[in-house]
Amino acid sequence: MIGRPQSFHPKSAHYVGEYIIVHNCVNYRALWAGRAYAYSMSRKNVLLSLLWYHPKIHEGVAHYAGEQHWNLHFQRVSAGGHIPASWTGDGVITGGQLVEDVIQNIPRLKGKVVQLGHSGDGAKKVPCVSDDHEGVVDAAIDYFLENGFRTFASFSPLLDNESVRMRHFRKRISELGHDCISLVCEHEDWRERHDWLVEGVRGLPSSTAVFSQNDEYASEVLQAAMDGGVPVPSQISVMGVRNDALICEYLRPKLSSVDNNLFGVGYKAASLLDQLMNGEEVSCEPHIIKPLGVVERESTSMSVAEQKDPAYHRAMLELKANHLDQNFSCNALADLSGMSLRNLYKVFERHAVASPATEIQLMRLREAKRLLEKGGLTMEIVAERSGFGSARALYKVFRQHEGMSPGEYRKRLKL
């Protein structure tokens, strides 16, 4: 029978799928509890302990932990804090000064530690994972260049002006032979810094691309531009880093940002720890996670050409709004832009950009690549959602512009 008898005798029952088959009188709750306890004890216990917290890192670690059926514990450590020496789990993911803390105080882990970031005392003692600071900057600069910008500015408080990102930004702009205005603020008080930044933004030339190393600092630039009467994006463009939706989506205008793939950082850290816990050797050289690219929002939605030519700007607005419709054509674009097809092509030609037909294809291609990077979709669904209508049309355009098939592109993402 299947039921809930009161006495317990483990030999009088066995498991069939999710059910307990009771032959005599068996306390199924005790039996089930014993099974659950044994299962729990067989799972690896991992501690994620962080001084600097970001939910995307936590999510990446948690996603891998879920796949591997780990017990994942989380600890937020304040400055000067420590990981408890009494920790009895199987491995630790942490960063900064806490790496050395684990090495010295929990020797029984025998190096089953992964560091987030590749600086500090723990660097090169344990495997470390970091986002690609230079790659993030390159993605921002390449985006600005593609949109016609040749004058650049950066903003950071004095404390962060010599960070890897800011130094690489200035170096790369200099190598390209373009002007870069460094807005470096020494004021620690928020009001003093804001007033200083308002004057700094007011002094920027028209068509300046402004980069900040994170979304928090970029939001300060947007606020200063608003209070200083400098329109964004019609006079300057502003970009941050991390793609924090709670910041970027709720600013006015919404903030464009480079997604530095902190989810990937967390996921990779967990996978390296898994290898260590399985007795595998893992290199202590930095494991660098490439950025996912620029997430365009309103703060960079106008190219230099659009800033200077209202007709071109109007056409680009309609193009961005409608290119995912597979029935959208150059004739429809001309009608929506209030001009003839001939004049539409002339507007695009005078800015030395791709033709309207090619621009429609390129926008659809960018969306297709984004969907392929996201994963989990068939080629037919990717083609439909990106405006191509069919996998065959997607394949043809992909081959033409990328030199490979969509399937080959997807495989490269997994390397």
**What pLDDT score does 66 carry?**
96
Using alpha carbons only, how large is the chain's radius of gyration in Å? Answer: 27
Q: Give the model's pLDDT for residue 120.
A: 58
Looking at residue 181, what is its pLDDT?
Answer: 97
Dist. CA 197–CA 214, nearest whole Å: 16
Average pLDDT by stretches of 10, the chain with 415 residues = 36 36 41 46 89 93 96 89 87 90 89 85 80 97 95 95 95 96 94 97 97 97 97 97 96 96 96 96 93 94 92 92 94 95 92 87 92 88 95 94 91 66
Global pTM value:
0.79
Is residue 140 classed exposed, middle or buried when 0-12, 13-18 and 19+ CB atoms within 10 A define those classes?
A: buried
Tell me which residue of 157, 227, 216 sits closest to 189, measured CA to CA: 157
- What token pair was written down for 153? 């500015």
- Can you give the pLDDT at residue 414? 57
As a CATH number, domain 45-132+263-277 is: 3.40.50.2300
pLDDT score, position 12: 37
Q: For the structural domain made of 133-259, what CATH number should be given?
A: 3.40.50.2300
> If one looks up domain 309-413 in CATH, what number appears?
1.10.10.60
Helices (H) and strands (E) in the chain, counts: 17, 14
SS3 percent helix, strand, coil of the chain, rounded to 5, is: 50, 15, 35
Amino acid making up residue 67: E
Fold match between domain 133-259 and domain 309-413: no
Backbone angles phi, psi at 354, to 5 degrees: -65, 155
Q: For the chain, which residues make up each domain, given as ranges?
A: 10-41, 45-132+263-277, 133-259, 309-413
CB 337, CB 314: distance < 8 Å = yes
Confidence at residue 124, expressed as pLDDT on a 0 to 100 scale: 72
